[in-house]
Amino acid sequence: MKHVHSHSRRQFLRKTAIGSSLVCGLIPEESGLLKAQTPRSYKYDLLVKGGRLVDPTQEISTNRDIAISGGKVALLAQNIPESEALHVLRAHGKIVTPGLIDMHVHVYDGVAPLSIPCDPNHIAKGVTTVVDAGSAGANTFPGFRKYIVNQADTRVKAMLNISVVGQSTLSRDNVWGELLELRFANPKLTAATIEQHRDVILGVKIRLTQNIAGTHDLQALGMAREAADAVKLPLMVHIGGSHSSIKDIMAMLKKGDVVTHSFRGGDGGIIDDNGRVLPAVHQALARGVHLDIGHGAGSFSFDTAEHVLKQDVLPGTISSDVHQWNVNGPVFDLATTLSKFMQLGLSLDQVIERATKNPSLVHRQLNGLGTLKVGAEADVAVFDLEEGDFVFTDALGATRIGHQLLRPVATVKGGHLYGMASIPVTRL
Ligand SMILES: [Zn+2]
């Protein structure tokens, strides 16, 4: 029964994706944003018209209309006539980007306690592709595939936790993480599960904080390394508050691996007490290790970010790590995280690059996403770039006043149009 129910709900979403009461309810027709033509034969299914397109894969940052046909980008041009499309999404005055890719989320709702429902937090907010960062391990992945990947409208990929139980143990009322029992780290089973699900799993995830990996963190990291090497995929390492030093952890990372929570404050981060980026981190970057943000509930500090950026070290990817304990602030969503980096001095084009083009380069399986080249999947995000005075808060409670806020307005995935949810960010 459960299956039948969720299947029909999915069909409902699909069927009503364009020109329906769902969309009209979220984007009122009187707003003039969405215009449906009377049916006849049209060259294009959907036209996203009048917006400023920011697509770093094509070095475009100017006005372009996007014509979509059969779920793919059919044409990018200025002034494509509205009469050529069945539906027109009027994006005048708005920012239009490839659908965002969030490299670090948790969407195993109901199994990993920190997880949140996928679609309302992602596709409804401009994010068409997410990478779940280790919520599932080998034993819990089949359920993740069945109940999340196959059900969500958001495109869901995953890094598989080296612990077979994934992130199912740690919650507010049970502070014990998935690697305190080292026998739960199983490189062979992890590699075998990845082999079975290579279309969804992009690599191996490990968390090294002491309440999660104890004092045997390096041993656990060695096992994650073994699994990642066996399947020739990247390792994503969550740093901070670990028993072992960042120097010893970095030494085990190779080209293509990802360090998440890289701009955290406090112990186990990438800077020393004087704010200097550690030599071991520079060496890892030189080897081709990527820095990911993974803002999270305890893992992003404005102070660290300001120190690191001053040394010309930029994150490769900007991800949210949005989850149960930060979705109502301070993270909210990926768009707010990107806005914080604009406050830190990155340009709009630079932040969009780190949530579209760069993630698609880190993971081979995401090649072809994060772009609006003709022929690509028609994944599009539309934002208002609001001007004002916005209070942004980091994971330590420090605040900064930013003057630009990206606010998701609408999302298109594979040519289907989705509505939006608003972002509760404090306004002065
Ligand atoms: Zn996380």
Ligand 1 centre and the CA of 353: distance in Å? 21
Distance CA 244, CA 94 (A): 47
Pairing of strands 34-36, 85-90: antiparallel
Q: Distance from first CA to last CA of the chain, Å, rounded?
A: 48
Distance CA 292, CA 195 (A): 25
Q: What are phi and psi of 393, to 5 degrees?
A: -120, 135
Sequence-ordered strand ranges (E) for 24-148: 34-36, 44-49, 52-55, 60-63, 65-69, 72-77, 85-90, 95-98, 100-105, 127-137
DSSP 8-class letter at 28 = -
Q: Which residues of 116-132 are buried (b: 16+ CB within 10 A; e: fewer)?
A: bebbebbbbbbbbbbbb
Give me the residue label for tokens 């969009």: 352
Ligand 1 centre and the CA of 314: distance in Å? 20
Pairing of strands 95-98, 380-393: antiparallel
Ligand 1 centre and the CA of 46: distance in Å? 35
Distance CA 169, CA 149 (A): 21
The H-or-E segment that residue 228 falls in is helix 217-231
The whole-chain average pLDDT of the chain stands at 91
Q: What are phi and psi of 305, to 5 degrees?
A: -55, -45
Ligand 1 centre and the CA of 133: distance in Å? 6
Range of lowest pLDDT (3-12, 153-162, 312-321): 3-12
Q: Which residues surround ligand 1, an ion (CB under 5 A)?
A: 133, 321
Tokens of 252: 């085990």
Ligand 1 centre and the CA of 232: distance in Å? 22
Go through the domains of the chain in sequence order and give each one's CATH number.
2-97+375-383+403-418 (2.30.40.10), 100-366 (3.20.20.140)
Percent of all residues in the chain with a pLDDT value above 90, rounded to a whole number: 87
Ligand 1 centre and the CA of 337: distance in Å? 14
Ligand 1 centre and the CA of 105: distance in Å? 6
Distance CA 270, CA 150 (A): 37
Ligand 1 centre and the CA of 395: distance in Å? 13
The pLDDT of residue 75 is above 80: yes
Tokens of 412: 């298109």
Percent of all residues in the chain with a pLDDT value above 70, rounded to a whole number: 88
Ligand 1 centre and the CA of 296: distance in Å? 7
Ligand 1 centre and the CA of 374: distance in Å? 34
* pLDDT tens column, 357-371: 999 999 999 999 999
The pLDDT of residue 425 is above 50: no
Report the pLDDT value the prediction gives residue 36, as an integer from 0 to 100.
64
Handedness of CA 320, 338, 117, 156 (dihedral sign): negative
Ligand 1 centre and the CA of 156: distance in Å? 15
Ligand 1 centre and the CA of 201: distance in Å? 16
* pLDDT tens column, 92-128: 999 999 999 999 999 999 999 999 999 999 999 999 9
Distance CA 358, CA 373 (A): 15
The pLDDT of residue 399 is above 60: yes
The stretches of 16-60 forming alpha helices (DSSP H) are: 21-26
Report the pLDDT value the prediction gives residue 229, as an integer from 0 to 100.
98
For the CA atoms of the chain, what is the radius of gyration? 21
Ligand 1 centre and the CA of 365: distance in Å? 20
Ligand 1 centre and the CA of 102: distance in Å? 11
Ligand 1 centre and the CA of 220: distance in Å? 17
Report the pLDDT value the prediction gives residue 30, as an integer from 0 to 100.
43
DSSP 8-class letter at 271 = B
Report the pLDDT value the prediction gives residue 208, as an integer from 0 to 100.
98
